[in-house]
Chains A and B, each alone.
Chain A
Amino acid sequence: MTSHGIRDRVAIVGMGCTPFGEHWARSADDLLVDAAQEALGSAGLRHEDLDAYWLGTVGSGRSGMMLSQALKLDYKPVSRNENMCATGSDAFRNACYAVASGAYDVAMAIGVEKLKDSGYSGLLSPKPPNDGTEIALTAPSMFSLLVPAYQNRYGVDDDTMGDVLSRIAWKNHANGARNPLAQFRKEVPIEVIKASPRISGALGVYDCSGVSDGAAAAIVVRAEDAYRYTDRPLFVKALSFVAGPGSGPIDETYDYTTFEEAVRSAADAYAQAGITDPLAELALAEVHDCFTPTELILMEDFGFSERGHGWKDVLDGRFDRGGALPVNPDGGLKSFGHPLGASGLRMLFECWLQLGGRAPVDRQVPTVAEGRTMALTHNLGGQPGACVSFVSIVGSEPST
């Protein structure tokens, strides 16, 4: 398999992100308008200047028409992307490729989700007509399967595992507490997290990401044009996307302690970006912490921790905002919220703020001041053993 990547050929020159949370007074269209206007404003552009759009939404609308109608676009190409929880990232990836190909000069990737209008708890995943034999696993159930498997493999007892998962939720809540755009802006004591009502298996309420409404957008241009729009562009160093064969749930050799899709997409992205020691080279990582055990396992899948040691590194604070590698300094899906189609772009928004020196002082990750210039974003859609995974590397320095 060949994956050449498009290192340093495309740059982000404008971004927007709405607050995530319960937007009872705003429709999905309203959120699209808000995110698009903010992104245009940050790049000093108008819709007339844009050539093409990629819209990511899992289920809040249909087709490119959702965006063109909401924004009243003048006969522009709009593609609608859906790739489960990696939807926003996939919209971004396609916009980047379109610009890199030379087909367009300026493109927008925008993602939105309106989850709170359903009136149901958690996420819904409507299926096409089927034979009724596939078990209707809720999202927390899918990911809670990781917990006993990890404990069993690495000999971690229930109490320690509870501490580890609670530590991840505590960190992301602490990060979100400082972020005015986050859904949950309150620090939560570890004991409260650990004792919260169980949702599925070992996962309590605080182990689950926020169900929210929100939108985020990015404007991408050819790298050589980037400084025409902003003095602090973000260069795309790597884009990797894989869809697994989905055999984990039917293959007895899969042990529920890794996401092979994440391992592969990270390896591909590191190769594209020329990264050999991610823990030392990345300034921050925005990873798919849909549930706390997901973040734990991703630390090992991305090489931030050795296999079987992630739980210790979590307890040691390696991934805290002031740790060796800050993970989810904006609060992550856990605390910032998870409006599916917007989440991948929200992660890029945090990189835009942190690497571009736009983050307020009390939220800045120290690694940027130390001279690190690259960040990783990661989206995962599906369930352990059967998922899609996206990894991007973005950087504040142009090609050298």
Chain B
Amino acid sequence: MHVSTELEPHHPVGSTKLFSIVWMWLLLLTGFEIFLAYERVEVHIMITILVGLSLIKSALIMAYFMHLRFEKLGLFLIVVPAMVFCICMMMIMFFPDSLRLTHLPRL
């Protein structure tokens, strides 16, 4: 019985032009973040926008630089949803408690 142990060679795809465009988008988004800091936007608004932009930037890095967009769907499914789930669980654990603390009288 033949069982295949060798993987088919999998060459990452993507051209220099594509990677350069992604790099420029990353720079552009970073530039916008710095602009927000320069304008001293209010901290709660700022953190929301910054986390959003960071998520977009990390998605670009994972999709193109780490080639996740070109991998099989199975790899994406074992990596990303589990990670997102764990991070959401951490946030659920932390933030309700922190909101409760802000409503306590200051000593």
Q: Does A pair with B?
A: no
User: Which B residues lie at the A interface, using CB under 8 A?
Assistant: none
